Structure 1
């Protein structure tokens, strides 16, 4: 197998944002009702041949819990199309279910608050939120039952997407995230039942954090998150870095040229890591990191190509106690993930 050279010992300097790859495809907005279990995977004719995807969330976002029947977003509400930051902020903060179509490039400042029962869906292949990001909920207005799909996020002043303030049932799918200031996608402050699928992370250091800080044990027993079929493409760290959560299920993701590390489990978090492909990752899995106490990791059936040895420890709650799933062969992951991630590939 031909591999690219080993990653440098120190992380590369941040470089200017480059134009993200535009992927051909079609867009359809999901309008279905409650989700009791994952939708069956299928091949969508609008995508590249052989790319399997689903039109409804799977993983933790599909679980019936906390009074929510899976994740349905704005289904059942009206549809609006937004082209400016003011329109997006107004729609995202509106009470009740709403499907928000993001058309073209929208320049925003800081974070736009998204409240409950919203689907925020990019139109075609050119939807972009730049300069700021989306924050799910506030301390007084929850961001539960939210879907974010098919959007390019660039140059955020803070996080590109922040799932916070006890938001639950969130599906983040088929987005392209790059070149922000802090985290591209952070999940914290007692949020729960989240699925992160088919996203590309690139041109950045801190990809995705789960758990607010070492001094926020209120996250214990929350933060149940599924990561599957994401492409961590040259990002340095946090793919994810996890505190307190259990289980965090990480499967069939493609890790390439991650200079600091792939995954880190800290502060007694429990991570199930399976069927992933690590390429040129010197430290694919850490147990404990920096000043954070060790967590627990069970790893199985991963491939480590020109990569280091993973660290593991302890036992972890099986994700199958929450939802059914199928793990693809890890050897197929680079081709499947690179063909399917990002914008322009949203299945109906």
Structure 2
């Protein structure tokens, strides 16, 4: 059968919070179908990989490479509500966390929704925005090379629903993309695709509420500001600053909107700034010295933008949820020092969740949850930054949860020592720690689970030259091993610390990392 592409209009529909099935009386119309029996892939646009129509019982669209990611897209940018279904047969995985996928509402080669069959035996419903991936829903599923799976992804209004072999559905709501074409993709995986079809779908309607939902009254008393201090570099007496005290001794104020929040962080006054509710900001907003910025309970939420430190110092950032930053969620730059970033959650940043760059120093990053982030943490922004960064970028990173995040946990240039201990690395697609370009890292008593490359050092990474890395006491489950190289200045030269056993890290970090875990 030849590929068919029909001009069938569909309409956007009312948003819905949660559904488990789609219904409607309208009969579905076929927008597109291709079974490749005509021996060609006319109408498809490919990027990356090696694509060809080949015989596998019947004719299929095959991607045969395993050394990169690859995509093939088809259809119309005007399609809105539809179901795309395809037979997906992974044939070779290059590692333990690779995938083959079906795409919907594709805007470009780097922006779309997709459902991925992963070699670590999971299926994930995901969003990719300019190359940054966010997992919307996931479940366990046995995935093996040589097996064919029927994968369906429905997009209707703001509701997404995927199934594999007609089994239990993954559902989510999201508004990033309202229209776009379809596609198939692989990530370091060879695969065949067949019987691709697209049919119109009816967006669900929102049922009327049966009961009123009461609003939560604002707290009547201020929660206590934590008096405990950081472990590691942010606790030291250096550069005229004896550890981090933040806004201690100053007024306590509460920000409930962006105007208040931006005024407070830009003030020259010493302040404890309580964040109550969602604060929508844009870009990166400057934070002046001597501030504690702390979320109230589980309500403190910074959305759309981030915090920027330019020659700032003595700042505590705690108990906040950061989402959808247009650039970095937290940027510690330009000789800023004594910054403590503790018990926060990060997701959806277009660039880094936390960047520590341009001569910054004496920073502790502790008990944070990096939730399906792409670029979690960068230390030094460039291979050409030696003149500003050598002798600086002393950072302690402990008890963080790198949860299905892709890379930079952290990626380090020039800084020494960067101390990475008691962190939980789970399902990290590209790598864990990369100590490159003359950097020196000590990596100890961490837990790496399903991480193909826990550590890079002597081999460098990407265009960066080699660095140095010492590792000890780590646990590796279904993972590679750390690549050691050279010697590194010991953190105990600067401060004392107590290590948890690596075996206890998953339970300890899951229970304690992220916002809403402290008062």
- TM tier relative to shorter chain: 0.7 to 0.9
- What's the CA shift for 1:96? 2.8
Query: Residue 270 and residue 346 in structure 1: after superposition, are their counterparts in 2 closer, same or farther (change >3 A)?
Result: same
1:308 aligns with 2:398: no
Conserved 8 A contact 1:61-1:71? yes
Q: Does 1:212 align with 2:381?
A: yes
Structure 1 distance, partners of 2:365, 2:423, is 11
What residue number does 2:345 align with?
176
Note the residue ranges of structure 1 that are not aligned, 5 or more in a row. 20-25, 33-54
Q: Is 1:27–1:345's contact at 8 Å kept on the other side of the alignment?
A: no
Query: Which of 267, 276, 281 is the matching residue for 2:446?
Result: 276
* Structure 2 SS opposite 1:132: strand
- Does the 8 Å CA contact 1:245/1:270 hold for their aligned counterparts? yes
Q: Is the 8 A contact 1:92 1:114 kept in 2?
A: yes
Q: Deviations over 1:250-282 (max 9, x none)?
A: 000000000000000111100000000000000
Assess, with a 3 A threshold, how the Cα gap between structure 1 residues 136 and 282 changes in structure 2: closer, same or farther. Answer: same
Match of 2:56 in 1: none
| Distance in 2 of aligned mates of 1:244 and 1:312 | 16
Matches within 5 A, 1:68-217: 68-137=241-310, 142-217=311-386
Alpha-carbon contact 1:27-1:346 (below 8 Å) kept: no
- In structure 1, what is the Cα distance between the partners aligned to 2:234 and 2:408? 21
Name the residue aligned to 2:201. Answer: none
Partner residue, 2:77: none
Instruction: Work out whether residues 247 and 319 of structure 1, in 8 Å CA contact, stay in contact via their aligned partners in 2.
Output: yes
Aligned-residue Cα RMSD (Å) equals 1.8
- Determine if contact 2:372/2:406 at 8 Å carries over to the other structure: no
Structure 1 residue 203: deviation in Å? 2.3
Q: Answer yes or no: is the 8 Å Cα contact 2:325–2:348 preserved in 1.
A: yes
Q: Distance in 1 between matches of 2:333 and 2:398?
A: 20
Q: 1:29 aligns with which of 203, 221, 225?
A: 225
Counterpart position of 1:236: 406
Q: Which has the larger radius of gyration?
A: 2
TM-score by length of 1: 0.86
Shift of 1:58: 1.2
Q: Corresponding residue for 2:427?
A: 257
TM-score by length of 2: 0.58
Which of the pair has the greater relative contact order for Cα pairs under 8 Å at 6+ separation? 1
1:335 aligns with 2:507: yes
> 2: distance between equivalents of 1:17 and 1:120?
28
Q: Which residue is 2:69 aligned to?
A: none
